[in-house]
């Protein structure tokens, strides 16, 4: 249920930067430096992990108008509704928010780590799944093992992915892109 344009952009950019906010001034400088070296990046996820993350995300969205910003660490329907009202482009959860699945929310990327969760999401028309925490849940070996069974699934492995190992994941046919918080190290 991810917009086809966003899906294609994610495939092309290979890395979905997962941005954990700290301080607006620092975050602006960090993004300016990163984007000046990575013009292919069109989509960035900003996590809602700190008390001021949403406010920072809103300001970054205003400042970097050529980027599709999504909100990550969405934990409830309320988080989604707030982000949707603020005009964010996509929404990422570390797990499954049943309300959003039942509503068939577009541009929602639910998370899972077990075969049962993957099957549940596929049976509810969610073909793009955040695989989290990838490094603790079997990593690339798990994705290789499910590829021939869950043929329609495309994964965004996140957790433990870095510039040294991301190509191991990108090379898999069932990986759309990788989520990476250490994207600029």
Supply the CATH number for residue 152's domain. 3.20.20.70
Secondary structure element (H or E) that encloses residue 47, with its range: strand 43-47
104 within a domain of the structure (yes/no): yes
How sure is the predictor about 64, in pLDDT bands with cuts at 50, 70 and 90? Answer: very high
Q: Which domain holds residue 113?
A: 4-177
What distance in Å separates the CA atoms of residue 26 and residue 22, rounded to the nearest whole number? 7
Check pLDDT > 80 for residue 123. Answer: yes
Helix ranges (H only) for the chain are 4-13, 24-37, 53-63, 77-85, 98-102, 115-123, 139-146, 166-170
Per-residue model confidence as pLDDT tens digits over 126-175: 999 999 999 999 999 999 999 999 999 999 999 999 999 999 999 999 99
How sure is the predictor about 182, in pLDDT bands with cuts at 50, 70 and 90? Answer: confident
Q: Domain tally for the chain? A: 1
184 within a domain of the structure (yes/no): no
68 within a domain of the structure (yes/no): yes
29 within a domain of the structure (yes/no): yes
182 within a domain of the structure (yes/no): no
Region for 162 from its dihedrals, namely left if φ exceeds 0, alpha if ψ lies in -120 to 50, beta otherwise: beta
């Amino acid at each position: 249920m991810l917009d086809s344009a966003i899906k294609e952009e994610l495939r092309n950019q290979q890395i979905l930067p997962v941005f954990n906010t700290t301080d607006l001034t620092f975050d602006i400088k960090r993004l300016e430096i990163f984007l000046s070296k990575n013009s292919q990046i069109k989509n960035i996820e900003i996590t809602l992990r700190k008390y001021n993350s949403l406010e920072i995300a809103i300001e970054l969205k205003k400042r970097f108008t050529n980027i599709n910003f999504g909100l990550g660490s969405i934990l409830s329907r309320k988080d989604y509704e707030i982000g949707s009202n603020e005009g964010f482009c996509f929404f990422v959860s570390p797990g499954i928010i049943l309300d959003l699945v039942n509503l068939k929310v577009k541009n929602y990327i639910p998370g899972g780590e077990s075969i049962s969760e993957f099957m549940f999401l596929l049976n509810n028309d969610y073909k793009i799944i955040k695989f989290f925490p990838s490094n603790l849940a079997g990593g690339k070996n798990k994705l290789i093992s499910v590829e021939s069974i869950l043929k329609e699934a495309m994964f965004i492995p996140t957790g433990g992915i870095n510039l040294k190992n991301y190509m191991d994941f990108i090379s898999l046919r069932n990986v759309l892109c990788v989520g990476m918080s250490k994207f600029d190290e």
